[in-house]
Structure 1
Amino acid sequence: MNQTAVQASVWQQRSYRWILFGQLISELGASLGTLANSWLIYQATGSQGAVGQMWLLYFLPSLAIQLVAGPYIDRFDKKRVMIFSQWMRAAAFCLSFAIITSGTESLWPLYFTALINGLVQPLYVPASQSLLPALVKREQLLQANAYLDSVLRIALITGPPLAGILVASIGGESVLALVAISYALSGFFLVLCPIAPADTVNKKQSWFVMFKAGLAIFWQKPLLLWLGLYSALVQFAVGVTLVLNLPFVAGELQGTSFHVGLFLAGYPLGYFFGSLLVPRFRSSFGQPLIMLGSLVVGGLSFVAIGFTHEIWLAITIELLAGLFAPFFQVHSTSLYQLHVPSELMGRVLSVRLLIVRATMPVGIWLGGQLSDQVGMRPLYISVGAVIVLASLAGVLFRKFVNNRIFHI
């Protein structure tokens, strides 16, 4: 089947179209909700620590649910899991909107919304990823995944600036209502999606046995563990800057909510274009240097932000950081797919995701604790310097660069 025929047949799948449109609305709603929640909390408290607490309420439950529920997600109907997740989020944002607009000065509804998001996200993501093979044919999977990934990037690019405009024009409280509507619509599209209930898996293996099998691969192929640790280091830095980005742009750089949105959109926009360039640099000999070089650039971007005093320069730096990021992330994921047995892929990737995401709450906590004490600029510079030094150490460590995994 040629490429044009594959594309046409993918779009002919009614179920796939509903999933795609629902995903677009859901991701746009997520972008709106993230900025609106952060803006309302920072506007009310003026504290980076308060914003950090919101992110901790999202990531810590998310991490716990992911650890416990990951091996068992196949035991439930994926469509119902996704509908439940979307409508739970819609209800949380609706409740938050109702309480905030009633005149109360309490911020607990915003934190409650973050908590609900953290609880359902680890259910929604694996369910949506594993549902796709039931919607399209095997030869259509690559194209179908590409469209879904494009939808995610479009939402990440357009969502933050749109959220900034809406917060400035109608207020953060009203944006909460729009987010609730977006999640409700996404769930409704899933209801319309004609998917036959799949047979649920009822394996007798315990959670510990399944988790241990995934963990064993890292001892057999240590380089995969090192790749996971590098990703974890990056996520730690991202956790620190999640607390800093909004107050840095709005405070240090004197930006508006629209500028905050543009700043947050810079990285995914760069990532989108960078992912198109990755296939052009596929030399096996240079793969480890390309990967570590992209991390060096990413670390330098944090350092550069720490010295920046112009808002448009900061946005440009974020754009460039996103442009180089896929050169590590895409290659790293491909190495896992090439060297992990297919029957263990899900478990190994779950362990990898756990390693990567476990460091983000630490970064969020540290950013919230230290930003008021040492300042935001020193934190940007420090986390960037750590990434640069760790990446250069990998370049100098010849056993890493010359590992045979890179040359298969």
Structure 2
Amino acid sequence: MREKGYWYLVTGFTVSALGDALGILAMEWLVYQLTGSLLAMGALVMAQQIAEFVVRLAGATLLDRVDRVKLMAWLDSFRFAAFGGVAVLATTGNLHMWHLYASAMVVGTCTALFAPAGMALLPSLVSEKDLVRCQSLLDTSMTVAMLTGPVLGGLLIHLVGPVMGIALNAGSFLLSALMLVQIRRVVGSLKHATTTKATRGYWNEMREGTAFFKKVPALFVIMLFAAIGNMTGVAISAMWVPYVQVWLHSDALMLGVLMTLNGIGAVGGGLLIAWMGDLQKRRLWMLGSILVKGSCFVLLGIATKTWMAFPIFLLLGMSGPFFGALSSGLYGRLVPAPLRGRVMSIRLLIGGSMQPVGSGLGGVVATAFGLHVLFVGAGLLAVSCAVLGMWLPQLKGIDGNLSEKAKEISEELVQSA
């Protein structure tokens, strides 16, 4: 029955990811349609990101005190209300700009809690030996959703307009909530595995979450490397349009082809890691993922022909799932159930901590020195981190059979909680 609960979780996550990808595009289009301002579009995304960051930090401990399935269903219901409200107001002619920004902040708030709650829930629904495989399948399904979302969104906006696209997006979150409710029906309440004792204060509970990284410092170090890798990725991804137009001397159609190749690579990588299952030399595979990603950026900064970029984008997409699936599998195996919510939130905070720096520096470096310097420089930074990690003996702590380590961590952390 727990396996059936897992498939309901995959469906809920996938539908939510599809809704996110479709809905944000429709919202941005509506903002531009109403204002004609690129600044207003940027402010919409910023409003969502700020809310997501603040709530992820402030709400980390909440995820260990509530029924995660019930929380996720409610979060999808709130997103349904946020997008549905915008659609109703737009249809009746009562929509104002502040409604859109408020809706974006609600969506950011819900996303901040939804993702770590799902990550914390997954290990309760599958066996330990299948954890990496199941995480990889979940990541792959979400990748497919995020790839098809903008395509469907663009088609809907073209055919029926952005308001109807937003309304259909609201419906996707309602469907996701219904899927998540089915987990309770087939598995029963997981409250006994997901709640802690009465609160002793926010900082005390966050300290319990950070204590996990003291027990497994290798995970903290490798997440710092991931943060640098994500920083370079954000700096690069913000420049895809000028890269294709200025560097490759091509058009929007070519950008679509390259993004499709990247997505195909991501799906292929996800299916490959799902087939391979858990790997004992996790350190090499995870650092190898960062190494390949950085190398691809360097090659893209050197390539001057569009045909050269084809295999590079495919390989770039394939590299990502190896780090993501193995990382999630490690956390699912090592983090005690009562602490999973806050630890997963801290993990996402560390991994995304340098993304704002990347988005800011990317444009500055590209403007001052050129796109090729940005791509090569960002790639070399990621490669250097991966090579450094290969030499750090501390990172060997994530290799091999970790059953005894998981038992030791669980006993020590739960007793002190």
Normalised TM-score (structure 1): 0.74
User: Of 145, 151, 161, which aligns to 1:155?
Assistant: 145
Give the superposition deviation at 1:313: 5.7
Is the 1:160–1:262 contact (alpha carbons within 8 Å) kept by the matching residues of 2?
Answer: no
Mapping of residues 230-309 of structure 1, within 5 Å: 230-245=225-240, 255-256=251-252, 263-278=258-273, 288-306=283-301
Question: Does structure 2 conserve the Cα–Cα contact (< 8 Å) formed by 1:160 and 1:264?
Answer: no
My pick for the range that moved more, 293-302 or 266-275, is 266-275
Task: Tell me the distance in 1 between the aligned counterparts of 2:99 and 2:370.
Answer: 29
* 1:267-309 CA distance string (max 9 Å, x none): 443223223434759885x654443333122013233444566
Give the CA deviation at 1:365.
Answer: 3.9
- The within-5 A match list for 1:183-198 is 183-190=173-180, 195=185
Q: Could you tell me which of 101, 107, 112 is aligned with 1:122?
A: 112
1:317 partner SS: helix
Q: Which residue pairs with 2:352 in the alignment? A: 357
Q: Which moved more, 1:58-67 or 1:170-179?
A: 170-179
**CA contact 1:161–1:261 (8 Å) conserved in 2:** no
Asked if structure 2 preserves the Cα contact closer than 8 Å seen for 1:56 and 1:364, the reply is no
Unaligned runs of 5+ in 2: 402-417
SS in 2 for 1:325: helix
Deviates more, 1:162-171 or 1:173-182: 162-171
* Distance change (3 Å), C-alpha of 1:374 and 1:163: farther
* Number of residue equivalences: 392
**Residue 181 of structure 1: which of 161, 167, 171 is its match?**
171
Name the Cα RMSD after superposition: 4.3
CA deviations over 1:133-174 (Å, ceiling 9, x no partner): 77x675897587666445323313433333344445555454
| Alpha-carbon distance in structure 1 between the residues aligned to 2:211 and 2:353 | 19
* Partner SS state of residue 354, structure 2: helix
Q: Which residue of 2 aligns with 1:64?
A: 54
* 1:328 equivalent in alignment to 2:318: no
Give the distance between the partners of 2:372 and 2:32, measured in 1 at CA. 18
| Offset at residue 311 of structure 1 (A) | 6.2
1:244-276 C-alpha deviation (Å, 9 max, x unpaired): 3456558876544x7666554544432232234
Match of 2:218 among 220, 223, 239: 223
Distance 1:336 1:123, change over 3 A: closer
The structure-2 alpha-carbon separation of the partners of 1:375 and 1:105, relative to structure 1 and needing over 3 Å to count, comes to farther
Within 2, Cα distance between the matches of 1:132 and 1:194?
14
Identity score, percent: 30
- Give the Cα–Cα distance (whole angstroms) in 1 for the partners of residues 138 and 160 of structure 2: 30
Q: Please give the alpha-carbon distance, in whole angstroms, between the structure 2 residues aligned to 1:172 and 1:180.
A: 12
Which is worse superposed, 229-238 or 92-101?
92-101
For residues 337-391 of structure 1, what are the alpha-carbon distances to aligned partners after superposition, in whole Å with 9 as ceiling and x for unaligned? 5666666555444322221122223333444666666665544443223212322
Relative to the length of structure 2, the TM-score reads: 0.73
Q: Taking structure 1 as reference, are residues 189 and 105 closer, same or farther at Cα in structure 2, changes over 3 Å only?
A: closer
Conservation of the 8 A alpha-carbon contact between 2:22 and 2:153? yes
Q: Decide whether aligned partners of structure 1 residues 301 and 281 sit closer, same or farther in structure 2, where only a CA change above 3 A counts.
A: farther
Distance apart, 1:234 and its partner CA = 1.7
Structure 1: runs of 5 or more not aligned: 1-8
Equivalent residue, structure 2, for 1:90: 80
User: Cα 1:328–1:79, aligned 2, differ >3 Å: closer, same or farther?
Assistant: closer
Task: Check conservation: 2:219, 2:398, Cα contact below 8 A.
Answer: no
Counterpart CA distance in 1 for 2:42 and 2:2 is 41
Change (3 A) 1:189 1:51: same
Question: What one-letter code is carried by the residue in structure 2 that aligns with 1:356?
Answer: G
Instruction: For residues 306-343 of structure 1, give each alpha carbon's deviation from its aligned partner in whole angstroms, at most 9, with x where no partner exists.
Output: 45666676565332112122333344444555666666
Matches within 5 A, 1:48-59: 53-59=43-49
Matched to 1:94, the amino acid is: G
Question: Per-residue displacement from partner, 1:81-114 (whole Å, max 9, x unpaired)?
Answer: 2233223222332344456678899865554443
